[in-house]
Amino acid sequence: MGKTVTIAIDGPAGAGKSTLARRLAERLGYLYIDTGAMYRAIALWAKRLGVSWDDAPRLEQLARESRIELASGGRVFLNGEDVSEAIRDPDISEGASRVSAIPGVRRALVAKQQQMGREASVVMEGRDIGTNVFPETEFKYYLDASPEERAKRRAAEGIQENLADRDRRDSQRAVAPLMVPLGARVINNSNLTPEQTSALILEDIRRRLERRE
């Protein structure tokens, strides 16, 4: 089509964003970008260096200097090291939520995310993709599910976290809070399988792409 396409998938923890985004990227042949993994990587690096997750200036420096690569299969590399497993520790999940609320960190990582989107067609999932990273894209989807279903999914993934606290931090932070992007299609998938959710959105994407040709 002569230009890259960005598919923005937003929503709270446990809504199924990662599963959906991976499926869409595979079916469309696009690059899958897990922006949450990037914040987790910064939280992990800070922890290893003994940097407090509240040390905004130092964390911003780490975010600017970091070399984060996202590879096929959901692998995440931080400064050349595969940290795919390390960043999934529950403690790092807490750190990522705190680190992501720091304006300087967000500016640094959003710049990296926007560069990725300029270089290739991507399916990018997170909490501010359609509102802050790529607000101009026409392919915006906000995925949600009931609190009970979201908690069940996180437990099945082996992740124990207080979703109410996480939601409150993400939606009330001063910079790029979690919200439904303007023009996004909202999908509650509490009663949908991952296959049904991906099929629904894939059909919508294909219709939109056909109209652009």
- Residues 20, 138 contacting (CB under 8 angstroms): no
Residue-wise pLDDT tens digits, 22-51: 999 999 999 999 999 999 999 999 999 999
What pLDDT is attached to residue 77?
97
Q: Using the CB atoms, write b or e for 54-80: b if 16+ within 10 Å.
A: eeeeebbebbeebebebeeeeebebee
What pLDDT is attached to residue 2?
52
Q: Is 193 exposed, middle or buried (0-12, 13-18, 19+ CB in 10 A)?
A: exposed
- As a CATH number, domain 6-206 is 3.40.50.300
Q: What is the dihedral of CA 163, 164, 165, 167, to 10 degrees?
A: 80
Alpha-carbon distance of 106 to 133, in angstroms, equals: 10
What pLDDT is attached to residue 1?
42
**Amino acid at site 25:** A
**Between 164 and 105, the higher pLDDT residue:** 105
**pLDDT reading at 87 higher than 80:** yes
- Residues 173, 165 contacting (CB under 8 angstroms): no
**At which residue do the structure tokens 């959901």 appear?**
74
Round the average pLDDT of the chain to a whole number and report it.
92
Order of strands, sheet of 76-78, starting from the edge strand that comes earlier in the sequence = 68-70, 76-78, 81-82
The mean per-residue pLDDT over the stretch 159-171 comes to 83
